[in-house]
Amino acid sequence: MSGVEERWCVVTGGRGFAARHLVEMLIKYDMFSVRIADLGATIDLEPHEEQGILDQALSSGRAQYFSVDLRHKSQVLQACQGAEVVFHMAAPNSSINSYQLHHSVNIGGTANVIEACIEGKVKRLIYTSSASVVFDGIHGIINGNELLPYASKHIDSYSATKAEGERLIIKANGANGLLTCCLRPSSIFGPGDRLLVPSLVDAARAGKSKFIIGDGNNVYDFTYVENVAHAHICAERALAAELTVAEKAAGQTYFITNMEPIKFWEFVSQILEGLGYKRPSIRIPALVMMPIAHLVECTYKLLGPYGMKVPQLTPSRIRLLSCSRSFDCSKAKDRLGYTPLVSLQEGLRKTIESYSDLRAENQSKREGPSKASIFLGSGRVADTLLWKDKKQTLSAVLILVAIYYNFILSGPTIISTLSQLLLLTLVFLFIHGILPEKILGYTIEKIPTSHFQLSEEKSHQVALSVISLWNTAIDVLKSLSMGNDWMLFLKVILSLLILSFLGAMPFQSLYAIGLPLAFVIFYVYEKKEQEIDSMVLDVVSFMGKLKSDVARKLRTSKKND
């Protein structure tokens, strides 16, 4: 026992979903004393952890907690000092849309971990990557292996920066005796997950789980969280084995799955049915959903700075739900000795049992926001357009009406309108600046200069959005130039016709019609949600059938030619 206590390992991001299972497995197997490194100032155990194996290890000294921000190298050095192994699992939430955050942690933080391992003479470094590093969001993957190249364009900043982190880890293999490898788990699920199952339940309670995006036949590889933890231990043992085994295992990437591919929507259905909800049954073609997703994404880009939360209905999410993603684990089995400990069905059973609080019969105990509110981001924009805060709504209406009568109704040119707005803004700011801090007992809040500045992060996001839109347009033009995608051609033609119709309308008319509609449509939808959903469902079903009929006729016509 004393020998074990002298052997330390570090788990970065040790309070994360998969990392918690690894920490408990390391303690249970009596392999190492564990340093849990995470952002929190202190470790707060959840009720099920109290009096459990982790609590006992912390009390006995077999586990220690280190508050570490990977972006600060000195903190990483302190946690890794004297450790034999580092399991680098820390990463920001993949659903957070911030390139700067992902870059600073997944790339900058990983570089700090590598340097700390080299300086501290750590022997082994296992990096938790993601299967998404090879997924471009467009082309499906069936039984993909490690020979697949990195995606030329990733679906999000999380995947892109994870790929860069992998490159750093592989390059560091052999530096000062350090052995490294990268694990690529695919779609982790299990008890303690705060993303997959809760989001499915939220969708079910909002009435969105009845739909299948795509044809429903796309295949996925899901990985039970305990198997992910087991894969890390297999990797550590392989790197610590005799020289020939270690050299074969080191400097490599490995896909990790349950080795039981399943249709994505069947997996979703089993979770929902297990929790008492209806399984999805209505198929909607991905092509029908993509224009809506692009509209939602554009709305978020406009309203995000004003409180709108990141939406779930985005183009990348539609592609994820309709593409196949399955992977071959032969390499991990051969070089690491990995085989799953828990079968897919057993993992599903354990997962469903762990979410008893989310069962359908408990729905009345948890009142969530309306679908209209969720679509608008459940923030200030939603409160304004849904008349939740009547004072805020009336203030917004009065301001918009004033802008209409003073700057738009008279029909000035764009240059004169901008000049008048700028003049009014300057006069307001000047008067506001010379006012005293208090007038008749009321405090006058001064507007800080930083309020008008565009941060580096925001500038970067705007630039990336422009580049992304440009690249998307180029991709569409490339596809059209091939001359074999009639559905894309019809989609572009329809979009241009709608754009030309809107472009022909005077800005005055668009303003006068669009703004009142915005304050009415969402409010009405919130009140008549079920009736409108039923009508939309009928239209979508008709459009899907029409699309299938057109595509079939085009294919038949092409064959006859």
What's the confidence (pLDDT) of residue 400? 75
Asked if pLDDT for residue 366 goes beyond 50, the answer is no
Task: For residue 496, tell me if it sits in a domain.
Answer: yes
Asked if pLDDT for residue 261 goes beyond 90, the answer is yes
DSSP letters spanning 109-178: IHHHHHHHHHHTT-SEEEEE--GGGG--SSS-EEEE-TTSPPPSS-SSHHHHHHHHHHHHHHHHTTGGG-
Task: For residue 502, tell me if it sits in a domain.
Answer: yes
Task: For residue 200, tell me if it sits in a domain.
Answer: no
Task: For residue 304, tell me if it sits in a domain.
Answer: no
The model carries a pTM of 0.67
The model's pLDDT over 406-437, given as tens digits with 9 standing for 90+, comes to 666 666 555 666 677 777 777 777 777 777 77
Domain of 385, in residue numbers: 375-418+454-560
Q: Is 210 one of the annotated active-site residues of the chain?
A: no
What's the confidence (pLDDT) of residue 179? 97
Task: For residue 68, tell me if it sits in a domain.
Answer: no
What's the confidence (pLDDT) of residue 1? 40
Length of the chain: 561
- C-beta of residue 122 within 8 angstroms of C-beta of residue 83: yes
First-to-last C-alpha distance (Å) of the chain: 78
Catalytic entry in 162, 388, 458, 553: 162
Task: For residue 543, tell me if it sits in a domain.
Answer: yes
What's the confidence (pLDDT) of residue 168? 97
Task: For residue 353, tell me if it sits in a domain.
Answer: no
The model's pLDDT over 498-549, given as tens digits with 9 standing for 90+, comes to 777 766 666 666 666 777 777 777 777 766 666 666 666 666 666 666 666 6
The β-bridge partners of 188 are 223
Asked if pLDDT for residue 368 goes beyond 60, the answer is no
Task: For residue 195, tell me if it sits in a domain.
Answer: no
Domain count, the chain: 1
